[in-house]
Amino acid sequence: MLPKHNRIPSGKIRTVLSKGRRFQTEHLRCMIYPNDTDMFRCAIIVPSSFDKRAVYRNRLRRLISESVRLYMPRLKQNIDCILMPGRIAVDTQQAVHVMVEQICVQAAVFV
């Protein structure tokens, strides 16, 4: 799980979803919007339409969260980012790590 100060408050998620710049890879979608703080904040959304089993959705959320946490020192500040897995998703840490790296490179959020 990401530290509390690196999570987007629930009231700001709708703003990021509606106004944010969108990026997409084969496995992951990303919405990025500038924020008014001096830190990177992230939310991971895995809708129930992805899979009906909460266990699978929560596992995927934890894997993505861990990958984001590992990349945190390299990410730009002042950005809110929402990550949503696509219909085709993998469930190994190595594969999720590669997915997150690809979307971060495409969205240019690395320092």
Q: What is the mean pLDDT of residues 6-32?
A: 94
Task: Render pLDDT for 67-100 as a digit per residue (tens, 0 to 9).
Answer: 999 999 999 999 999 999 987 767 788 999 999 9
CATH number for the domain that contains residue 84 = 3.30.230.10
- Residue 89 has what pLDDT? 64
Containing domain of residue 78, as a range? 4-107
- Residue 79 has what pLDDT? 94
- Residue 49 has what pLDDT? 86
Q: What is the mean pLDDT of residues 101-106?
A: 91
The reported pTM is 0.91
Number of independent structural domains in the chain: 1
User: H or E segment at 85?
Assistant: strand 79-85
Average of per-residue pLDDT values in the chain: 91
